[in-house]
Structure formats: structure tokens, C-alpha cells
């Protein structure tokens, strides 16, 4: 009689705990699905040609990835099935799940805005920003995004989840007086539950590795594929990779060093360059520019324009009249139409443009890393050898991205930053002063430089970045015909106006006719168009060279493919005089007519995907997925997959990355 009376109670205890686990899993899946739906609705302009079938497939893939996260969160609770009276631990279980879901909700609410900005799920950029100056980061978020409403929504949703867990706990309480189930019954229940949880955590029944982010790429729609991922898992993976420094492992030790260096030298060594120290450095060489390519200039001014997207440059074919001043300047200069940033963050734009070193996996934030202290064949060091004066004018704080430390180490000595402006037109609590203030101060500083020797200057803009530090009364009309990009493009139009104002101010100054001006974007930004999986709109930027006689010698436009690492050798080639360097780019104005040019590009953060662009072809290599080869047309905004053999481009990309990583690790990047 005793056994018969106890059995229902024993089953009820285990059933109660199983009900709580199952109910919690269902609740978590519902919350994660709603977060995915919010990501979709907030970024619906990214849908383009995405079909309903592809979206359904994305949500199906999402269930697998969400299931992994749910399994991880429930795994600590499964062993409680061995407890004879698990309901006594119910409060602790609710606390664990409540805290976990609060964090998941926080990530989920941040992700729609993050994706709109970077066209990526949460990744290593989060930790990069966290590691920066907290005051600046918090100010950028507060003034650039609806933080207050997001926090309120986060609190409401977190409270709702806590209430739901409370109701679930009461519903899943055992009936009657709990009895002590035998260990055999508890083990019999535990083992299959544990097995199911482990399989869910793997996300797949296949033999081999568990579910990976590449498994979400099952459609031809990049947005649908990314929609299938789980942002929290992506963020965790980025943290693990950042800690373990695994990003570079994909790109080493697959080619013999001799073959690797031979491929790189074949690509980088110019017609008038001689390799030196070949046993010590991969691409150290001496360049002897021909007199035919030298311009009558003494000074160099590099203007690095924040988020200056080629997609919205009028001189490159955009009809929205966002950059009328740049377009007028282009009429008197040499414009490169197929130029790309090496990364998608100002950090990479700075060291690629000024130090001629590429954006590499594991070294995306080079200026903040120990390797950033190495010597590089950058513009600063090369021109300092020729006794040039230097100047660096910037809207913001040079502590950001360790700009002061990096460039001081490279030889820069004169810095004008946010604390050096008096009575600026705009003083933004996040970034500093406006582009108008920066350019006005730059004109003053350039005019006051000694005239007894040449100078070079780096002018860096910032207004065209959230939260867009512009005057309350704009000197330009706001952009109103580009949908969700209106505010961004209004800031870009304002930056363009400030650029035009700067050139109007300096054209009558004595140094102007002796100066090479190099106008280049630090990176671009994406929009609803996505030509290839590697979003070219985020990398396509203008490069404009303005100098006396440049159109007479080199023409009005060039379609040669190039990237920011080509800026330094292209500048030095116009100055004349032999120079020794180890730039990871080439003089774009000294290439054979048959050379279409090339660019190696990589997104910021923990995304390990890299791409090689040659002419109108792009080879894209992600991690854990098949590579892709496509051809593209920037003018007509079209692209299509190619089925040709991609192994030559694959080897050239592999060799370039491996060689650069090896040189960086062995401190063989400079003279």
C-alpha cells in the first residue's frame, strides 16, 4: 500500500521539475524569436529581394541557434533532477534564468541599431567600444541613439519575463506533500533529459563540430542568413576569439614561406623598385620614381573624411547632391573611382592610410596593441627623413584609439585636438568640435607653418559620425529623399560644405600651389543595397588627388582598383627622390596599363571574412564556409556569382595575409 500511494507523488515531483524546464525553454524560445522579429522589422529596408520562403528559412535556422542558447542556460538546472526535493531550489532557478534573460534582452534590444550601423550581428566591435574611453562611448550612445526609451523597454520586458517565470513556477509546483523518489527513477529521468540538452547545445546531430555560424548561410539573401544567427551567441563567440586571439589562426602556416613571399613580391614590387633585405623582410624595397611622374610640389596634406561613402559621392554617379563641394574639387583633380577602405572603422582607416599596413585578422585594433609600437613605412616616418614639418588636426580626443600614442611613436609631433579650440561653433559632448571648426583651425595652422622647409599635415574629420555634431542652424539643406539615411547624409553634406569652405580659404595662401592634397574616406557605410556578401558599399570610398599639373599628366579619373595602403607609395612617387620603404600597397600611378589593381579588405570586429578585389572581380573567404567568387559593377550597382576557378585569387589573398601577419609578429614591418 505504501509503495502504491507514493508512486503518483514521486512522478508528480519529477513531472513538476520537467514541466518547469520545458516551460522555461518555451518561454526563452518565444522571447528570442520576438527579438529576431524586432531585428527584422527595424532593418526591413535590408530585405531587398529577400523572399518569404527565405525569411521562413531564416527563422527556422534561428530556432536551431536559439535552441543552443536555451540549452546552455538550462544545462545548470538539469542536474537538479537528482535532488529529491527540487522545488526547494525553484527560487534560485528563477533568479538564474531571470538574470540570464535580462542580459539576453539587453543584447537583443541593442542589436537592431547595431545591425543598421554595421550590417553585422553583435561582434568584437562591442568589446572594442567598451575598452575605449567610457565617457566618450556613453556620450555617443546617449546623444546618438534613443537610449532612454530602450532602457525603459528593457526594464518593462525584463519585468515581464520575471512575472512569466513566477507564473510558470507556480504552475509547475508538485501536487500534495513531496516524497523522496528513488535514485533509480531520478537517474532514469535525468539521463535522457541531459542527452537532449546536450544535443540541443550542439545544435546538430551530425558527427563532427557543433552548429557554427556558417550553418545559417543557407539562402542567397545575406540579410536572411544573418537573421538566422543568434546575437548573444555571436557576442560570446567574439569574446572567446578576442581572448584566445584565434582570429589569426585561419591565416597562417598553409603556404611555404618561400612561395608565400614570392607571391606577395610579385604583386607588390613595382617596375622601378628593387628588393632589399629579402632574407629579413618580405617586401622591403627601394623605389626610384621616374621624373615623368613627379609633380611640382613640396607639401602634402592628407584629409581623412569620416564615413565618406563613395555610394553618395556625386562625382562617382550619385544623384542626391550630397557632395557638391567635393564634386567641384574633383573637376580639377584626379579621382579614383574604384578605391576601397581596408576596414570599416576609423582605426583601420588611419593605420592603413598613414602607415600603409593592412587590416589583418586578429590585429584590427593595431594601434592599441603591442605590435602597434613597431616601426612602419608610413608617411610620417618617410617624410620626417626628408626634414618635413608635421601637423595633425582633429575634432576629437587623441586618446581615442590611442591615436596620440601611435602617431607619436611614428614621429608625429604637432597635435591639435578637441581641447585646443577656443569658442568653437559647435562643442559636442561626445566627439568635440564640428568639421567647420576643425577646418577653420587647420587653415590657420597651415598658414602659420614656417615656409623655410616643406610640411605634411593630416586633417581628420568627425562630424559625419553618430551623434553628428552640427550647428543648430545648418548652412546646408537637410537631405530628405533618402529614407533612413537622411540624417547621416545631412551630416555628410555638412562635412562636404566644411571641406569646400576650407579650400575656399586656402586657395589664395602661398603654400596652396606647392601642395598635394589627398582626400580620402576613412571608410563608408552600408545601405539597403548589398552587391555581394562582403558589403562593398561599406568599403567603397573616394580617393581624390589635387595638385598642380596632375590632370595634365595623369588625367581626370582612374578606374584602377586601390585601397588605403596605396596612399603612401602613391604620394611618395609624386615627390621624386629614391626612397626605401616596406609599404603594403603600390604607387597607383606607376602601374602597367594591363594591371587592374587590387585591394584586400576586411570588416571591423571579430568577423574573420576577408576579400580580395582585382579589377571587377571579388574573391570572398569567410571562415567555416565555402569561398565565393563574383564580378561586380559599381556604376550600375549589380553583381553576379562566377563559377570559375578561384584558386589563383585564393592563393594571392592567403599569401598576402600570411606574409603581413608574419612580418608584424617578427617586427619586420619598417625600414
| Cβ burial, residue 515 (10 Å; 0-12/13-18/19+) | buried
Distance (Å, whole) CA 453 – CA 444: 18
Which one is predicted more confidently, 79 or 327?
327
Cβ contacts of residue 152 below 8 Å, gap of 6+?
none
Dihedrals phi, psi of 654, to nearest 5 degrees: -60, -45
My answer on whether 502 and 628 are in the same domain is: yes
Task: Report CA-CA distances (Å) from 275 to 34, 260, 270, 579, 587.
Answer: 59, 16, 10, 12, 15
Q: Indicate whether 142 pLDDT > 80.
A: no
End-to-end CA distance of the chain: 91
* Cell representation of residue 518: 589627398
Whether residue 405 lies inside any domain: the answer is yes
Q: What is the pLDDT of residue 219?
A: 83
Q: Indicate whether 4 pLDDT > 50.
A: no
Where is average pLDDT lowest: 326-335, 348-357, 401-410?
401-410
Enumerate the β-bridge partners of residue 190: none
Give me the chain's average pLDDT, please.
88
Whether residue 250 lies inside any domain: the answer is no
Enumerate the β-bridge partners of residue 71: none
Q: Indicate whether 232 pLDDT > 70.
A: yes
Q: What percent of the chain has pLDDT over 90?
A: 58
Which one is predicted more confidently, 544 or 368?
544
Task: Report CA-CA distances (Å) from 317 to 320, 325, 478, 487.
Answer: 9, 15, 20, 21
Whether residue 277 lies inside any domain: the answer is yes
15 closest CA partner among 94, 76, 86: 86
Which one is predicted more confidently, 626 or 325?
325
Which one is predicted more confidently, 191 or 625?
191
My answer on whether 105 and 219 are in the same domain is: yes
Q: Indicate whether 117 pLDDT > 90.
A: no
pLDDT tens column, 444-462: 999 999 988 999 999 999 9
DSSP string, 475-501: SSPPP-SSGGGHHHHHHHHHHHHHHHH
Whether residue 160 lies inside any domain: the answer is yes
What is the β-pairing status of strands 334-340 and 415-416?
unpaired
- State whether residue 140 is helix, strand or coil: helix
Total structural domains within the chain: 2
Half-sphere exposure of 103 (CA within 13 A, CB side): 11
My answer on whether 102 and 197 are in the same domain is: yes
Distance (Å, whole) CA 568 – CA 669: 14
13 closest CA partner among 88, 75, 92: 88
Residue 547 and residue 520 in contact, taking contact as beta carbons nearer than 8 Å:
no
Q: What is the pLDDT of residue 115?
A: 86
pLDDT tens column, 257-306: 899 999 999 999 998 899 998 888 899 999 998 888 899 999 999 999 99
Q: Indicate whether 38 pLDDT > 50.
A: yes
- State whether residue 474 is helix, strand or coil: coil
Which one is predicted more confidently, 586 or 87?
586
Enumerate the β-bridge partners of residue 580: 286
My answer on whether 122 and 226 are in the same domain is: yes
Q: What is the pLDDT of residue 399?
A: 80
Residue finishing a domain among 243, 276, 294: 243
Residue finishing a domain among 186, 221, 243: 243
DSSP string, 212-230: -GGGG--SS-HHHHHHTS-
Binned at pLDDT 50, 70 and 90, residue 253 comes out as: low
Task: Report CA-CA distances (Å) from 553 to 233, 292, 328, 556, 558.
Answer: 54, 8, 20, 9, 12
Task: Report CA-CA distances (Å) from 418 to 98, 318, 520, 651.
Answer: 43, 33, 22, 45
Report, as an integer, the average pLDDT of 102-106.
94
Q: What is the pLDDT of residue 88?
A: 57
| pTM summary value | 0.79
Q: Indicate whether 11 pLDDT > 60.
A: no
* Cell representation of residue 594: 594591363
pLDDT tens column, 583-626: 999 999 999 999 999 999 999 877 788 999 999 999 999 877 78
Q: What is the pLDDT of residue 214?
A: 66
Whether residue 251 lies inside any domain: the answer is no
Distance (Å, whole) CA 74 – CA 179: 24
613 closest CA partner among 548, 577, 559, 662: 559
My answer on whether 146 and 79 are in the same domain is: yes
Cβ contacts of residue 625 below 8 Å, gap of 6+?
214, 217
What CATH number is associated with residue 510? Answer: 3.40.720.10
Q: What is the pLDDT of residue 225?
A: 87
My answer on whether 176 and 264 are in the same domain is: no
Report, as an integer, the average pLDDT of 505-526.
95
Q: What is the pLDDT of residue 149?
A: 87
Binned at pLDDT 50, 70 and 90, residue 558 comes out as: very high
- Whether residue 163 is preceded by a cis peptide bond, meaning omega within 30 degrees of 0, is no
Domain, as residue range, for 554: 257-576+583-665
My answer on whether 194 and 261 are in the same domain is: no
Where is average pLDDT lowest: 99-108, 513-522, 578-587, 623-632?
623-632
Residue 497 and residue 514 in contact, taking contact as beta carbons nearer than 8 Å:
no
Q: What is the pLDDT of residue 133?
A: 64
| Rg (alpha carbons) of the chain, rounded to whole number | 28
Q: What is the pLDDT of residue 655?
A: 94
Beta strands in 163-313 (DSSP E): 273-275, 285-287, 299-305
My answer on whether 97 and 183 are in the same domain is: yes
Residue 453 and residue 389 in contact, taking contact as beta carbons nearer than 8 Å:
yes
My answer on whether 188 and 149 are in the same domain is: yes
Whether residue 67 lies inside any domain: the answer is yes
Task: Report CA-CA distances (Å) from 248 to 128, 608, 664.
Answer: 17, 8, 12
Whether residue 74 lies inside any domain: the answer is yes
My answer on whether 287 and 199 are in the same domain is: no
Whether residue 252 lies inside any domain: the answer is no
pLDDT tens column, 47-61: 878 899 999 999 999
My answer on whether 205 and 272 are in the same domain is: no
Q: Indicate whether 541 pLDDT > 70.
A: yes
My answer on whether 135 and 273 are in the same domain is: no
Q: What is the pLDDT of residue 244?
A: 47
Determine the Cα angle at 239 with ends 234 and 243, to 5°. Answer: 150
Q: What is the pLDDT of residue 128?
A: 67
Residue finishing a domain among 175, 208, 243: 243
Determine the Cα angle at 408 with ends 406 and 413, to 5°. Answer: 150
pLDDT tens column, 357-404: 999 988 888 888 778 888 899 999 999 999 999 999 999 988 888 888
Report, as an integer, the average pLDDT of 73-93.
78
* Cell representation of residue 347: 582605426
Q: What is the pLDDT of residue 169?
A: 87
Amino acid at each position: 500500500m505504501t509503495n502504491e500511494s507514493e508512486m503518483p507523488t514521486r512522478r508528480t515531483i519529477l513531472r513538476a521539475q520537467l514541466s518547469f524546464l520545458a516551460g522555461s525553454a518555451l518561454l526563452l524560445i518565444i522571447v528570442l524569436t520576438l527579438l529576431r522579429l524586432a531585428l527584422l522589422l527595424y532593418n526591413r529596408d535590408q530585405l531587398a529581394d529577400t523572399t518569404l520562403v527565405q525569411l521562413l528559412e531564416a527563422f527556422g535556422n534561428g530556432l536551431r541557434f536559439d535552441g543552443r542558447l536555451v540549452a546552455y542556460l538550462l544545462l545548470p538546472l538539469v542536474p537538479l533532477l537528482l535532488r529529491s526535493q527540487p522545488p526547494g531550489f525553484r527560487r534560485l532557478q528563477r533568479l538564474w534564468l531571470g538574470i540570464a534573460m535580462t542580459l539576453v534582452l539587453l543584447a537583443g534590444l541593442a542589436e537592431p541599431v547595431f545591425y543598421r550601423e554595421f550590417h553585422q550581428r553583435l561582434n568584437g566591435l562591442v568589446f572594442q567600444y567598451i575598452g575605449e574611453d567610457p565617457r566618450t562611448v556613453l556620450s555617443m550612445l546617449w546623444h546618438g541613439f534613443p537610449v532612454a526609451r530602450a532602457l525603459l523597454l528593457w526594464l518593462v520586458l525584463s519585468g515581464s519575463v520575471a512575472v512569466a517565470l513566477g507564473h510558470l513556477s507556480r504552475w509547475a509546483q508538485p501536487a500534495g506533500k513531496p516524497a523522496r523518489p528513488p535514485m533509480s527513477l531520478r537517474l532514469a529521468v535525468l539521463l535522457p533529459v541531459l542527452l537532449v540538452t546536450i544535443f540541443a547545445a550542439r545544435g546538430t546531430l551530425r558527427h563532427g563540430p557543433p552548429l557554427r555560424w556558417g550553418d545559417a548561410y543557407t539562402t542567397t539573401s545575406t540579410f536572411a542568413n544573418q537573421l538566422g544567427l543568434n546575437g548573444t551567441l555571436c557576442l560570446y563567440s567574439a569574446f572567446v576569439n578576442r581572448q584566445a586571439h584565434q582570429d589569426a589562426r585561419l591565416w597562417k602556416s598553409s603556404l611555404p614561406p618561400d612561395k608565400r613571399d614570392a607571391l606577395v613580391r610579385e604583386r607588390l614590387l613595382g617596375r622601378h623598385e628593387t628588393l632589399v633585405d629579402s632574407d629579413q623582410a618580405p617586401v622591403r624595397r627601394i623605389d626610384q620614381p621616374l621624373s615623368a611622374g613627379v609633380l611640382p610640389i613640396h607639401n602634402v596634406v592628407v584629409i581623412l573624411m569620416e564615413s565618406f561613402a563613395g555610394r553618395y559621392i556625386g562625382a562617382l554617379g550619385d544623384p542626391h547632391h550630397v557632395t557638391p563641394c567635393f564634386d567641384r574639387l574633383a573637376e580639377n583633380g584626379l579621382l579614383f573611382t574604384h578605391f576601397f577602405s581596408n576596414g570599416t572603422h576609423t582605426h583601420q582607416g588611419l593605420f592603413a592610410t598613414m602607415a600603409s599596413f593592412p587590416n589583418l585578422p586578429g590585429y584590427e585594433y593595431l594601434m592599441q596593441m603591442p605590435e602597434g609600437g613597431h616601426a612602419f613605412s608610413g608617411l610620417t616616418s618617410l617624410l620626417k627623413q626628408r626634414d618635413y614639418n608635421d601637423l595633425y588636426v582633429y575634432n576629437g580626443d587623441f586618446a581615442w584609439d590611442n591615436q596620440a600614442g601611435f602617431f607619436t611613436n611614428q614621429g608625429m609631433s604637432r597635435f591639435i585636438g578637441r581641447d585646443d579650440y577656443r569658442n568653437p561653433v559647435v562643442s559636442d559632448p561626445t566627439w568635440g568640435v564640428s568639421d567647420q571648426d576643425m577646418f577653420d583651425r587647420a587653415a590657420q595652422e597651415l598658414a602659420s607653418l614656417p615656409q623655410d622647409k616643406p610640411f605634411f599635415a593630416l586633417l581628420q574629420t568627425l562630424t559625419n559620425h553618430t551623434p553628428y555634431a552640427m550647428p543648430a542652424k545648418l548652412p546646408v539643406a537637410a537631405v530628405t529623399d533618402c529614407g533612413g539615411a537622411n540624417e547621416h547624409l545631412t551630416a555628410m553634406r555638412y562635412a562636404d560644405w566644411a571641406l569646400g569652405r576650407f579650400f575656399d580659404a586656402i586657395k589664395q595662401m602661398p603654400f596652396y600651389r606647392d601642395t598635394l592634397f589627398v582626400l580620402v574616406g576613412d571608410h563608408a557605410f552600408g545601405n539597403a543595397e548589398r552587391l555581394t556578401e562582403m558589403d562593398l558599399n561599406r568599403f567603397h570610398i573616394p580617393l581624390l588627388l589635387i595638385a598642380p599639373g596632375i590632370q595634365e599628366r595623369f588625367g581626370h579619373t582612374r578606374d584602377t582598383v586601390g585601397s588605403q595602403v596605396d596612399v603612401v607609395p602613391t604620394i611618395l612617387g609624386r615627390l621624386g627622390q629614391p626612397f626605401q620603404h616596406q609599404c603594403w600597397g603600390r604607387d597607383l600611378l606607376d602601374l602597367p596599363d594591363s594591371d587592374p589593381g587590387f585591394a584586400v579588405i576586411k570588416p571591423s570586429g571579430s568577423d574573420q571574412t576577408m576579400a580580395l578585389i582585382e579589377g571587377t572581380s571579388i574573391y570572398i573567404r569567410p571562415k567555416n564556409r565555402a569561398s565565393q567568387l563574383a564580378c561586380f559593377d559599381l556604376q550600375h550597382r549589380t553583381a553576379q556569382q562566377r563559377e570559375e576557378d578561384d584558386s589563383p585569387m585564393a592563393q594571392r589573398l592567403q599569401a598576402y595575409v600570411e606574409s603581413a601577419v608574419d612580418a608584424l609578429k617578427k617586427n619586420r614591418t619598417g625600414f
